[in-house]
Amino acid sequence: MQIYIGDDAVLRADSRLPHGLILRDALDEFGINYETFKGIGLSGDVPRREGSGYKLTGAGLCLNTGKKVQLGSNSAQYDIGVDKEHIEKCREFLEKNGLAVEIM
């Protein structure tokens, strides 16, 4: 998940959770309130793509091979793909931590 929290570019991934729940957990972590909608294929509601203090700008498949993060595809829940501009803002942090970035 590619999110702006205020002006900060934030990345979150969890292969065990659908995108809506990853976004929910990130917003809860930062103490951000949000409006919800009925998520596709979920029994509960998930945060909207944008709200006061945050904006979801990209989502899709994230593969972490240990030395490389590969991003691609799109999110069916949010009908959004990878945001290349957001990734460029995160690239220095990722590479500093030993992860190359590839957009598929």
pLDDT for position 55: 97
Q: What is the pLDDT of residues 6-18, one digit of tens each?
A: 999 999 988 888 8
Average pLDDT, the chain: 89
Is residue 44 scored above 80 in pLDDT?
Answer: no
Q: Are 37 and 71 in contact (CB under 8 A)?
A: no
**What pLDDT score does 91 carry?**
87
Q: What is the pTM of this model?
A: 0.87
- pLDDT band at 77; cut points 50, 70, 90: confident
Across 4-29, average pLDDT: 92
